[in-house]
Amino acid sequence: MTDGTVYKQGWTLDDVQWSKFDRSKAEPWLIAAIKAAALVEFNAPDYVSYLKRVFKDAGPVTLDAIEQWGCEESQHGRALGRWAEMADPTFNLDEAFARFRAGYQPPHFAESETTSIRGSRRGEMIARCVVESGTSSYYTAIRDATQEPVLKEIAGRIAADEFRHYKLFYETLNEQDEPDLPFWKKLMVAVGRITESDDDELAYAYYCANVAAADTTKQPYERKRYSQATTATTTRIYRRPHINKLVQMVAKVVGAEPHGRLSKLGSALLWRLLRLRSGSHQVEAVPVPV
């Protein structure tokens, strides 16, 4: 539940009220998810380099905005990592991140990749908007799911940043002098990016964050197993309003009416899918404001 606090851009780790940390309210399943999220967020510099190559001719305003975006994503990693280190003293952000970075290197992060893997700068921005839709809804859901005061604050601050990132990339999308993409093409890019969420990035981050270096031989990485672990968190924290907001944001970026029939149908389908995937978890349809 939100207390109505509005978090502005430009916060630092010193603004977080760390002294309010309450270990008794830090739930193990959520600690595991936050450790993984910290690694993914902390990996932003490679994505900044890639985006700056794709937008190399875009001018200083766009390039500066990409740089600032990357700084904020890295700070998300640092904030989540610090919270996770408090909640689980065996966790070390730098050590886990080093293992994650060594094992997760998508081809488009290579210096030789100078064009968007989405086929165009517009496609790249649609994919970014999909990711920011996902992260803004994810951290909103975490803020609403946790009773731990510091995590609630951090998740609220991060969610507000992710909404601003969505806005930034949505505006950048519409500034491109490339021809607009047909609806089906935009939809394909969006769906393609959503299905990529099942790739190694999230699963491998969960593994590196939650399996100690000393245990990796007897407990090797298995994509399916750790992918299921990340899905379990998602099904546990999301409520219907989070899904509605997520689908509305994606609908807007592909050019569909956010409150139209397609969006409502997509929202109902995604909610149903989450319920099905939740397996033994009982996902309550408790409405919460977002």
Applying CB under 5 A, among 128, 165, 236, 242 the residue interacting with Fe ion is: 165
Q: With contact defined as beta carbons under 8 Å apart, do 205 and 233 qualify?
A: no
- Rounded CA Rg of the chain: 19
Q: Which is nearer to Fe ion, 142 or 270 (CB)?
A: 142
Stretch that binds Fe ion, among 119-127, 157-165, 220-228, 253-261 (CB under 5 A): 157-165
Residues in region 15-44 near Fe ion by CB under 5 A:
41
Applying CB under 5 A, among 35, 76, 157, 242 the residue interacting with Fe ion is: 76
Q: Which is nearer to Fe ion, 97 or 271 (CB)?
A: 97
Q: E strands along 20-173, which residues?
A: none
Q: How many beta carbons lie within 10 A of that of residue 223, not counting itself? A: 13
Q: How many beta carbons lie within 10 A of that of residue 285, not counting itself? A: 9
Q: What is the largest CA-CA distance in the chain?
A: 54
Rounded CA-CA distance 205/209 in Å is: 6
Stretch that binds Fe ion, among 74-82, 96-104, 106-114, 233-241 (CB under 5 A): 74-82
- Cβ contacts of 137 within 8 Å, gap of 6 or more: 238, 242, 243, 245, 246, 249, 290
Check residue 162 for interaction with Fe ion (CB under 5 A).
yes
**DSSP secondary structure of 203-247:** HHHHHHHHS-GGGTTTS---HHHHHHHHHHHHHHH--HHHHHHHH
Residues in region 203-262 near Fe ion by CB under 5 A:
none
Q: Which is nearer to Fe ion, 69 or 271 (CB)?
A: 69
Stretch that binds Fe ion, among 1-9, 28-36, 68-76, 79-87 (CB under 5 A): 68-76
Applying CB under 5 A, among 73, 148, 153, 201 the residue interacting with Fe ion is: 73
Check residue 128 for interaction with Fe ion (CB under 5 A).
no
Binding site for Fe ion (CB under 5 A): 41, 73, 76, 132, 162, 165
